[in-house]
Amino acid sequence: MVAVGTRDVVVGVDGSAGAAPALRWATAEAARRGGRLRVVGAYRAPWPPAHPPAGVGRKTWALMRTEETVSGMVDDARAAAPGLVVIGLSVHGAPVPVLMAAAADGALTVVGHRGHEGFAGLRLGSTGLQLATHAGGPVVVVRGTPDAAAPVLLGADGSTGAEPAIGSAFQAAAERGCGVVAVRVYQIPAPKWDDRVDPLDYNLERLQEVEHLELRRAIAPWRDKYPEVPVEMSVRLGEPADLLTAMSAAASLVVVGTRGHGGFTGMLLGSVGQKLLHHAHCPVMIAR
């Protein structure tokens, strides 16, 4: 993506039902980007819970099972994209640090939204949510059944965290040959409290004009860089997470930054990103 040192894609696999869609998405993405695909499985001695065969240690058994899974996924990726360089890695350790190390050079990290303990679904503390919160590069959690011809949905609120999202969304759209729907959601400002309460006499029409102008300014450099990408701008009054979640049903990918306006200082992943990771109808990219 934008401002990273590689076009490689890292996909975490664990043999669960959620790993297969993640692999398919990551394979297609690596082929579009012209990079390599790294298929990564993490294993630890306590997994799997079943007893290993006689004479085989639990760590060795976990490695054998993980290598079998990774090998099968590598074969699937190569069959789907014959010209793609695919590398399989089975690494001892916890899933999050294993994947973060595999993508330490700025590669895009991809995981499914449900899985075994290794790459589990998006409950609090899960691999997907931890990666989206702490990874040093962009992360995609594969959800839904995206239409490859649908536009890329961009959440752009004017915050510093939105800058990488804008560039990533335009590049993703250019690679897919589709458009970008750039969305800016605003809310009525809260009244100021001092020695009196200011009346809520905001001009909503003027407020929307200002928000539309700010969105146009934010995406202008990227429209110039990707003139072939059609752009639709949408400025709406409402709750950002709810609106983006609903609009994601008609998108191939939704892209947001790590934090936006309205969050608590110090939060590494905003509430909008978290809700999308749980409820979006298509893959979600948290861009850095």
Q: The CATH number of the domain where 92 resides is what?
A: 3.40.50.620
Q: Where among 142, 171, 189 does a domain terminate? A: 142
Lowest average pLDDT, out of 97-106, 145-154, 155-164, 165-174, goes to 155-164
Q: Please report which residue ranges of 103-203 form alpha helices under DSSP H.
A: 127-134, 162-176
Looking at the chain, the whole-number percentage of residues with pLDDT higher than 70 is 82
User: Are residues 207 and 244 both part of a single domain?
Assistant: yes
- Structural domain count, the chain: 2
User: Are residues 169 and 280 both part of a single domain?
Assistant: yes
Is the Cβ–Cβ distance between 224 and 174 less than 8 Å?
no
User: In which residue are the tokens 């429209």 written?
Assistant: 223
User: Are residues 120 and 168 both part of a single domain?
Assistant: no
User: Are residues 190 and 99 both part of a single domain?
Assistant: no
- What is the residue-averaged pLDDT of the chain? 83
**What's the pLDDT score for residue 179?**
97
User: Are residues 111 and 34 both part of a single domain?
Assistant: yes
**What's the pLDDT score for residue 269?**
54
2 lies in some domain = no
181 lies in some domain = yes
Nearest to 238 by CA among 185, 200, 172: 185
Straight-line distance from the first to the last Cα atom of the chain, in angstroms, rounded to the nearest whole number: 9
Nearest to 279 by CA among 244, 253, 250, 252: 244
Residue 146 carries which DSSP code? Answer: -
212 lies in some domain = yes
1 lies in some domain = no
CA 262 to chain centre: 21
4 lies in some domain = no
Cβ neighbors of 74 (< 8 A, separation 6 or more) are: 39, 86, 87, 88
Looking at the chain, the whole-number percentage of residues with pLDDT higher than 90 is 52
Dist. CA 50–CA 31, nearest whole Å: 37
* Total Cβ atoms within 10 A of residue 225: 13
Q: Where among 88, 110, 142 does a domain terminate? A: 142
User: Are residues 169 and 249 both part of a single domain?
Assistant: yes
24 lies in some domain = yes
**What's the pLDDT score for residue 249?**
95
279 lies in some domain = yes
**pLDDT at position 280 over 50:** yes
Is the Cβ–Cβ distance between 172 and 144 less than 8 Å?
no
> Does residue 48 have a cis peptide bond before it, meaning omega lies within 30 degrees of 0?
yes
When comparing pLDDT for 161 and 30, which is higher? 30
User: Are residues 164 and 129 both part of a single domain?
Assistant: no
CA 120 to chain centre: 15
Q: Where among 78, 107, 142 does a domain terminate? A: 142
The count of C-alpha atoms lying within 13 angstroms of the C-alpha of 57, restricted to the half-sphere facing its C-beta, is 5
User: Are residues 233 and 270 both part of a single domain?
Assistant: yes
**What's the pLDDT score for residue 4?**
38
| Strands (E) located in 50-200 | 86-92, 108-112, 139-142, 152-155, 180-186
User: Are residues 124 and 200 both part of a single domain?
Assistant: no
- What mean pLDDT comes out for the span 199-225? 85
User: In which residue are the tokens 């990771």 written?
Assistant: 277
User: Are residues 165 and 78 both part of a single domain?
Assistant: no
Please report which confidence band the pLDDT of residue 113 belongs to, taking 50, 70 and 90 as the band edges: confident
Q: Which domain holds residue 117?
A: 9-142
Nearest to 164 by CA among 134, 129, 139: 139
71 lies in some domain = yes
**pLDDT at position 85 over 60:** yes
User: Are residues 173 and 196 both part of a single domain?
Assistant: yes
Is the Cβ–Cβ distance between 164 and 223 less than 8 Å?
no
Tens digits of per-residue pLDDT, 114-160? 645 444 433 433 777 888 888 888 999 999 887 888 999 999 887 76
User: Are residues 161 and 277 both part of a single domain?
Assistant: yes
**What's the pLDDT score for residue 77?**
98
